[in-house]
């Protein structure tokens, strides 16, 4: 098989089975991890794993979310590619309206990001907003080989990011806002936005965060987000309150040693619920305690494989709109993994960002699977006629060939 044939096969239109298998394995690992995390002192450790699953309402719900996941992927897979391209604005504004409605109608104190649905289930629209952001940014950034080079295009992209971010921040959902900013930065980089522009935007963002933190400290704010940052910076001063969760997470991971203490162990920190929310945002602490360093590294390797697979698929996608969709999903998952694992290890402040495919939660599972569905939609709709030219070099991603074909929109 010659090099030309290999190159053409890499560009071929296909449903990527490797990515599906990697995500499927991670989802099954998530069911096991949630089951271990929800093991209680009232449970019998001698029963079978299936009985453990049945006894845990959270695990049963997670199984339901995983069973629904293929339907989400399948639905996004069959949506016409041109529909995603032409209706990106409609999807974006629909999500903005939903976010605004949730913010106004939700009477909860503090975080107002959830909407009651039925039978005790809730949805988190800010999760779904991430996918709409990926679509609209992919469309805006793919219109030119040098996006955001004019004042008009720069303003358009900034306003697109600012509107949902402000609404989500008003809901008290800082984590989702940070994810949107992170995936935007990744998409800007791979779309061809100059490094100078990216540097200026990063400097402005950092200055804004530091200024906001300074104002909150100076005014004596009691906002829980300030307390989390203070607990991260001075854990000894906040050991009984805001840094408790972080410190307990570190202890659980450390107690696992090299290979872990095992599943469903009586007297474990997971069983005695010493780590709050260890089946959702702090599921990595459960993995560290039960399977130790080996389990933690296995999870990291699986995530690296998923991200590298997406990078590979993006590299061999000629259509810039499709390529940026893959990069956006990759950026979303990358920040989720980085922030979640870092906060469980005490390396980043707690932000309430779940671990993709592992943490309990329907909205996050549907969003992540929806992202995978978008990636598969792109690879399934590749044009073989684009496979004749040499792929671009990604060491300088803002210099794309004018040979790349674009669709009218």
- Helices 88-105 and 125-141: crossing angle in degrees, nearest 10, is 150
pLDDT at 407: 41
387 lies in a domain? no
pLDDT of residue 235: 64
The answer to whether the CB of 25 falls within 8 A of the CB of 302 is: yes
**pLDDT value at residue 113:** 62
For residue 386, what is the DSSP state? G
From residue 360, give the alpha-carbon distance in Å to each of 59, 180, 193, 316, 331.
8, 21, 36, 33, 21
pLDDT (0 to 100) of residue 133: 95
* 375 or 208, greater pLDDT: 375
Backbone angles phi, psi at 11, to 5 degrees: -90, -5
DSSP letter string, 136-191 = HHHHHHTS-SSTT-SHHHHHHHHHHHHHHHHHHHHTT-HHHHHHHHHHHHHHHHHH
pTM of the model: 0.86
Domain assignment of residue 53, yes or no: yes
> Is residue 407 domain-resident?
no
Which structural domain range is residue 224 located in? 12-381
Q: What percent of the chain has pLDDT over 70?
A: 80
- Quote the pLDDT of residue 389: 37
For range 325-339, the mean pLDDT: 95
Cα 21 → chain centroid: 18
Specify the DSSP element, H or E, that contains 227.
helix 224-233
Winning range, highest mean pLDDT, from 144-158, 362-376, 385-399: 362-376
Token pair for 322: 């499709």
Check residues 326 and 170 and name the one with the higher pLDDT: 326
Q: pLDDT value at position 93?
A: 94
Q: What average pLDDT does the chain have?
A: 82
> What pLDDT does residue 187 have?
94
* Domain-embedded: residue 99: yes
For residue 12, the model assigns a pLDDT of: 81
Is the predicted pLDDT of residue 3 greater than 70, yes or no?
no
The region of weakest confidence among 7-11, 196-200, 289-293, 399-403 is 399-403
Residue 225: band (very low, low, confident or very high) from pLDDT cuts 50, 70, 90: low
Quick check: is 230 in a domain?
A: yes
> Structural domain tally of the chain?
1
Residue 185, pLDDT score: 93
> What is the pLDDT averaged over residues 303-329?
94
Position 91 scores a pLDDT of 93
pLDDT tier at 367, thresholds 50, 70, 90? very high
Residue 321 in domain: yes
Q: What is the pLDDT of residue 107?
A: 54
Query: What pLDDT score does 393 carry?
Result: 38
- Asked whether residue 159 is domain-assigned, the answer is yes
Q: Answer whether residue 391 shows pLDDT above 60.
A: no
What lies within 8 Å, CB to CB, of 356 at 6+ separation is: 26, 303, 333, 336, 337, 364, 368
391 in a structural domain: no
The string of pLDDT tens digits covering residues 33-78 is: 999 998 887 777 678 888 888 888 889 999 999 998 889 898 888 8
pLDDT at 386 over 70: no
The H helix count followed by the E strand count for the chain is 15, 2
**Span 206-219, pLDDT tens digits:** 887 777 767 766 66
């Amino acid at each position: 098989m010659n090099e030309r044939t290999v190159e053409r096969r890499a560009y071929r239109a296909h449903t990527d089975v490797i990515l599906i298998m990697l995500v499927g394995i991670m989802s099954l690992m998530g069911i096991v991890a949630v089951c271990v995390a929800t093991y209680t002192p009232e449970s019998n450790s001698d029963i079978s794993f299936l009985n453990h699953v049945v006894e845990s309402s959270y695990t049963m719900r997670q199984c339901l979310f995983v069973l629904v996941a293929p339907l989400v992927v399948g639905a996004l897979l069959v949506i016409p590619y041109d529909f995603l391209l032409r209706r990106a604005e409609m999807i974006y504004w629909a999500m903005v309206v939903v976010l605004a409605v949730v913010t106004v109608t939700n009477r909860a104190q503090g975080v107002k990001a959830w909407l009651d649905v039925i039978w005790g289930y809730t949805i988190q629209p800010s999760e779904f907003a991430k996918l709409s952001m990926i679509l609209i940014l992919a469309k805006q950034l793919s219109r030119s080989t040098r996006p955001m080079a004019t004042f008009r295009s720069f303003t358009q992209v900034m306003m697109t990011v600012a509107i949902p971010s402000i609404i989500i921040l008003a809901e008290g959902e800082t984590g989702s806002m940070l994810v949107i900013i992170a995936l935007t930065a990744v998409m800007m980089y791979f779309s061809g936005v100059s490094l100078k522009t990216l540097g200026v935007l990063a400097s402005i963002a950092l200055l804004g965060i530091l200024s906001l933190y300074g104002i909150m400290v100076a005014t004596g704010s009691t906002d829980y987000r300030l307390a989390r940052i203070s607990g991260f910076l001075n854990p000894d001063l906040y050991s009984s309150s805001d840094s408790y969760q972080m410190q307990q997470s570190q202890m659980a991971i450390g107690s696992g040693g090299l290979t872990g203490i095992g599943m469903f162990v009586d007297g474990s920190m997971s069983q005695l619920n010493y780590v709050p929310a260890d089946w959702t945002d702090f599921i990595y602490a459960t993995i560290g305690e039960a399977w130790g360093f080996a389990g933690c590294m296995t999870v990291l390797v699986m995530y690296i494989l998923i991200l590298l697979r997406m990078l590979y698929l993006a590299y061999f996608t000629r259509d810039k709109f499709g390529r940026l969709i893959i990069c956006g999903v990759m950026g979303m998952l990358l920040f989720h993994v980085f922030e979640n694992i870092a906060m469980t290890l005490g390396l980043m402040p707690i932000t309430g960002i779940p671990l993709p495919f592992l943490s309990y939660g329907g909205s996050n599972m549907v969003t992540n699977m929806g992202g995978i569905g978008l990636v598969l939609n792109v690879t399934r709709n590749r044009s073989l006629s684009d496979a004749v030219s040499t792929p671009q070099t990604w060491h300088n991603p803002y210099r794309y060939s004018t040979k790349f074909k674009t669709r009218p929109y």
